[in-house]
């Protein structure tokens, strides 16, 4: 399948000197589901920030390499422009607006797509609530009162509301009970299958991510050290123990 996202030989530095990524090359096929795995500090979040134009807010910069989306060079493209192209990044930490309702949080996604974004429509809610029924029941609740799992669902639902082509999710499972985390990954897989949007997840929990993703890359100290089909990676002896300290 043709690559939707192509990253080639990407190096990123923070503060002009601290090398966080070194020669990272990875592809996300059109309609594919790819996981970027690795321990704390390996550079996973930095990779997503480099794609979605957020490095500049953290004194980071792309030193070398390029990023293409559907054949177009998007290296260093500002995040609002990327969002208009349908490249959406659900950041680590479930950024929801706590004093706004679930519905208002979803509507906020329309700003991301700008004037060229799709018009507000009731079936947009239906789509999000179809995948995340728990949000339907809480649609008028303040987001700050939702559980951690529901807030993560809302963060993903908000991105979905903007009708992404490429959805990137950073550490969806962080701090969630295993059952809830598994539910969220199963929903991501369902969305990927039904909507045929491309998905790139960053995850420390290898087995969880590889159950949903088709392909995985392992980052270690800013470099890709392993890659392969999910089944192959899962079978590799002690993968999770080696990279995740026994997770």
- Which residues bind to ligand ATP, rule: CB under 6 A? 14-15, 18, 20, 38, 40-46, 58-60
Give the nearer residue to ligand ATP in terms of CB position, either 13 or 106. 13
Q: Which residues contact 174 (CB under 8 A, 6 or more apart)?
A: 92, 93, 204
Nearest approach, Cβ of residue 53 and ligand ATP (Å): 15
Nearest approach, Cβ of residue 100 and ligand ATP (Å): 26
Nearest approach, Cβ of residue 40 and ligand ATP (Å): 4
Q: Which residues contact 59 (CB under 8 A, 6 or more apart)?
A: 14, 15
Nearest approach, Cβ of residue 49 and ligand ATP (Å): 7
Nearest approach, Cβ of residue 206 and ligand ATP (Å): 13
Residue among 87, 13, 79 nearest 46 (CA): 13
Nearest approach, Cβ of residue 243 and ligand ATP (Å): 11
| Cα→Cα distances 209→38, 102, 104, 216, 217, Å | 11, 26, 30, 9, 11
Give the nearer residue to ligand ATP in terms of CB position, either 59 or 190. 59
Give the nearer residue to ligand ATP in terms of CB position, either 20 or 180. 20
DSSP 6-66: EEEEEEEEETTTEEEEEEEEEEEETT-EEEEE--TTSSHHHHHHHHHT-GGGGTEEEEEEE
Give the nearer residue to ligand ATP in terms of CB position, either 71 or 246. 246
Give the nearer residue to ligand ATP in terms of CB position, either 42 or 210. 42
Give the nearer residue to ligand ATP in terms of CB position, either 18 or 81. 18
Residue among 13, 17, 12, 16 nearest 66 (CA): 12
């Amino acid at each position: 399948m043709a690559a939707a996202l192509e990253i080639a030989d990407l190096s990123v530095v923070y503060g002009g000197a601290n090398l966080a990524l070194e020669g990272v090359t990875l592809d996300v096929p059109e309609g594919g589901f790819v996981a970027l795995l690795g321990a704390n500090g390996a550079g996973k979040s930095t990779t997503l920030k480099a794609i979605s134009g957020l490095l500049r807010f953290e004194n980071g910069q792309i030193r070398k390499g390029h990023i293409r989306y559907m054949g177009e060079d998007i290296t260093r493209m500002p995040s609002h422009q990327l969002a208009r192209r349908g490249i959406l990044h659900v950041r680590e930490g479930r950024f929801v607006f706590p004093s706004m309702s679930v519905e208002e949080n979803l509507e906020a996604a329309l700003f991301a797509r700008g004037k060229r974004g799709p018009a507000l429509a009731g079936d947009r809610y239906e789509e999000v609530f179809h995948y995340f029924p728990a949000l339907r029941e809480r649609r008028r609740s303040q987001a700050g009162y939702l559980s951690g799992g529901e807030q993560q669902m809302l963060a993903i639902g908000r991105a979905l509301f903007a009708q992404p082509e490429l959805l990137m999710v950073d550490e969806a499972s962080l701090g969630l009970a295993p059952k809830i985390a598994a539910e969220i990954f199963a929903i991501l897989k369902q969305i990927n299958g039904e909507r045929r949007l491309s998905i790139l997840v960053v995850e420390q929990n290898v087995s969880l991510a590889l159950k949903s993703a088709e392909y995985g890359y392992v980052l270690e100290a800013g470099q890709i050290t392993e890659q392969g089909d999910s089944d192959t990676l899962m079978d590799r002896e002690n993968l999770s123990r080696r990279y995740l300290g026994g997770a």
